[in-house]
């Protein structure tokens, strides 16, 4: 029986085990070193989305050091490309699209398909690189899988791809339940948190200059990040992000309804921090559009005695953000990834979760960050303030708590890459 027929006829529940066994039998004894093709880098207007890629590259570099990695990057920002080349000079970066026939549009893609032994879909909000995987399935008979991706209510198209995956590592445990509902289950489905938890890039020089210019002293300031209930992609996407007029109206109405009540809770914490510690607050963005809402929602409404303690930062790349967060006392964010970048740099972090921000926030609970995760509709500002007060009164305890969760992250990444090593014949892992 040909391998493609074998996969198609396997049941979903056993597909991962059977495919793993097959791969071990066919390629596990042939090669010593392996090449991994990683598809990632969905957009460059969000330091969290940018952070997925260096995070996963660091995971692979640390735990699969003998493997060669080719990055098939979806977005094409020059600054991010330079950032990745600087920090991962051994990684070859390719670009290119997939057409409706699931064919790549350039020779680099063809070459990568021929060279790579395994394809990995990187962290993201859904199967963003579905077409990339579909092209791999069409043109190769080699294994592929997903690493740290949210798979909430997968479409039929995405299901058809996931049913052929050799491994599925979801970004939070709720995605595993969503897969079960559509009949996709098995031992090859496991939890692996967002790869941004392993981001290791820094821009210490640029961060030092900014901190010095604004008198932001080490561990004497907090960072706060605003967010609207829905990211207004239609405002910075040429085709309105493909949204209908009805969708745009829903987004704008929801954002207008909640923006003040959400951010008033964060302002309450900012005021308490300034008045009780006499230390500063850095208001900073995770996404580009947040530059335009900082003043309205977090700075202008503040009392006169607090405003002199506020510093504002424009959009930045994740290497500078990581360096600044490493010097912050605590990072408090409505966005999901700034707390992750802070945690990766040893800084306590609070995530203020809005219900519209998908199920990805479940990973905070999965990793033991319960006390630092706040469902914004269910709490008041005083609760955020009291938790921050606990942190600044016993910072050592908070750091120990953070390290426990980060140790759990490392253990999970080590286990998942070990599983990939077994898939490839135990030759690529450390």
**What is the total count of domains within the chain?**
2
Q: Tell me which of 171, 198, 225 is where a domain ends.
A: 198
Domain assignment of residue 427, yes or no: no
Question: What confidence category does residue 43 fall into, taking pLDDT thresholds of 50, 70 and 90?
Answer: confident
Identify the CATH number of the domain in which residue 177 sits: 3.40.50.720
Are 249 and 375 within one domain?
A: yes
* pLDDT over 60 at 378, yes or no: yes
Are 28 and 159 within one domain?
A: yes
Mean pLDDT to the nearest integer, 295-309: 98
Question: What confidence category does residue 273 fall into, taking pLDDT thresholds of 50, 70 and 90?
Answer: very high
Identify the CATH number of the domain in which residue 258 sits: 3.40.50.2000
Q: Which residue's structure tokens are 């207004």?
A: 232
* pLDDT over 90 at 362, yes or no: yes
Domain assignment of residue 418, yes or no: no
Are 279 and 322 within one domain?
A: yes
Are 217 and 191 within one domain?
A: no
Are 183 and 214 within one domain?
A: no
Provide the domain limits for residue 387.
204-408
pLDDT score recorded for residue 152: 97
Question: What confidence category does residue 21 fall into, taking pLDDT thresholds of 50, 70 and 90?
Answer: very low
| Secondary structure string (H, E, C) spanning 16-34 | HHHHHHHHHHHCCCCCCCC
Question: What confidence category does residue 367 fall into, taking pLDDT thresholds of 50, 70 and 90?
Answer: very high
Are 13 and 121 within one domain?
A: yes
Task: Of 5-19, 83-97, 173-187, 205-219, give the lowest mean pLDDT range.
Answer: 5-19
Are 244 and 347 within one domain?
A: yes
Summarised one tens digit per residue, pLDDT across range 99-127 is 999 999 999 999 999 999 999 999 999 99
Domain assignment of residue 84, yes or no: yes
Integer Cα distance of 194 and 170 in angstroms: 8
pLDDT score recorded for residue 33: 84
Summarised one tens digit per residue, pLDDT across range 346-356 is 999 999 999 99
* pLDDT over 60 at 29, yes or no: no
Q: Tell me which of 198, 222, 255 is where a domain ends.
A: 198
Are 218 and 143 within one domain?
A: no
| Pairing of β 68-73 and β 35-40 | parallel
- Residues 6+ positions from 323 with CB-CB distance below 8 Å: 202, 203, 204, 206, 207, 208, 345
Rg (the chain; Cα; Å): 22
Domain assignment of residue 419, yes or no: no
Domain assignment of residue 415, yes or no: no
Domain assignment of residue 429, yes or no: no
* pLDDT over 90 at 219, yes or no: yes
Mean pLDDT to the nearest integer, 395-410: 98
Question: What confidence category does residue 19 fall into, taking pLDDT thresholds of 50, 70 and 90?
Answer: very low
Are 124 and 238 within one domain?
A: no
Classify the C-alpha dihedral 28-34-39-44 as positive or negative: positive
Is this structure's pTM higher than 0.85? yes
Domain assignment of residue 425, yes or no: no
Are 215 and 298 within one domain?
A: yes
Q: Tell me which of 183, 198, 213 is where a domain ends.
A: 198
Q: Which two tokens stand for residue 308?
A: 């002199």
The DSSP string of 129-156 is THHHHHHHHHH----EEEEEE--SS--H
Are 151 and 96 within one domain?
A: yes
Question: What confidence category does residue 183 fall into, taking pLDDT thresholds of 50, 70 and 90?
Answer: very high
Domain assignment of residue 328, yes or no: yes
The tally of CA atoms less than 13 A away on the side-chain side of residue 191 is 20
Are 25 and 136 within one domain?
A: yes
CB–CB of 169/144 below 8 Å?
A: no
């Amino acid at each position: 029986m040909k391998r493609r027929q074998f996969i198609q006829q396997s049941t979903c529940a056993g597909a991962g085990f059977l495919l793993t066994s097959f791969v071990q039998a066919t390629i596990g004894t042939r090669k010593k070193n392996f090449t991994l093709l990683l598809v990632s880098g969905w957009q460059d207007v969000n330091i969290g989305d940018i952070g997925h890629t260096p995070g996963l590259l660091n995971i692979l570099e640390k735990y699969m050091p003998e493997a060669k990695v080719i990055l098939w990057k979806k977005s094409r920002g020059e600054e991010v490309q330079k950032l990745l080349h600087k920090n991962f000079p051994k990684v070859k970066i390719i670009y290119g699209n997939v057409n409706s026939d699931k064919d790549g549009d350039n020779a680099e893609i063809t070459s990568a398909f021929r060279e790579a032994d395994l394809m990995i879909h990187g962290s993201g909000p859904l199967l963003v690189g579905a077409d990339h995987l579909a092209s791999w399935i069409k043109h190769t008979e080699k294994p592929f899988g997903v690493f740290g991706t949210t798979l909430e209510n997968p479409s039929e198209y995405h299901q058809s791809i996931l049913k052929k995956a050799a491994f599925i590592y979801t970004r939070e445990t709720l995605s595993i339940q969503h897969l079960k509902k559509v009949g996709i289950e098995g031992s090859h489905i496991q939890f692996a948190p967002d790869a941004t938890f392993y981001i290791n890039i820094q821009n210490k020089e640029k961060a030092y200059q900014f901190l010095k210019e604004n008198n932001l002293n080490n561990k004497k300031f907090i960072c706060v990040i605003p967010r609207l209930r829905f990211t207004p992609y239609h405002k910075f996407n040429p085709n309105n992000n493909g949204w209908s007029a009805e969708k745009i109206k829903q987004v704008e109405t929801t954002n207008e309804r909640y923006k003040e009540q959400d951010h008033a809770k964060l302002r309450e914490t900012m005021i308490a921090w300034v008045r009780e510690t006499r230390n500063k607050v850095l208001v900073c963005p995770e996404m580009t559009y947040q530059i335009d809402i900082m003043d309205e929602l977090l700075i202008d409404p503040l009392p006169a005695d607090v405003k002199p303690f506020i510093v504002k930062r424009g959009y930045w790349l994740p290497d500078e953000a990581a360096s600044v967060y490493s010097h912050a006392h605590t990072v408090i964010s409505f966005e999901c990834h700034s707390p992750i970048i802070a945690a990766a740099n040893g800084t306590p972090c609070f995530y203020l979760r809005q219900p519209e921000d998908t199920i990805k926030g479940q990973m905070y609970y999965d990793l033991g960050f319960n006390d630092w995760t706040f469902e914004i509709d269910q709490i008041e500002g005083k609760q955020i303030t009291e938790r921050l007060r606990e942190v600044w009164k016993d910072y050592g305890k908070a750091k120990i708590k953070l390290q426990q969760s980060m140790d759990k992250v490392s253990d999970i990444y080590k286990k998942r890459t070990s599983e990939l090593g077994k898939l490839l014949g135990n030759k690529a892992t450390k």
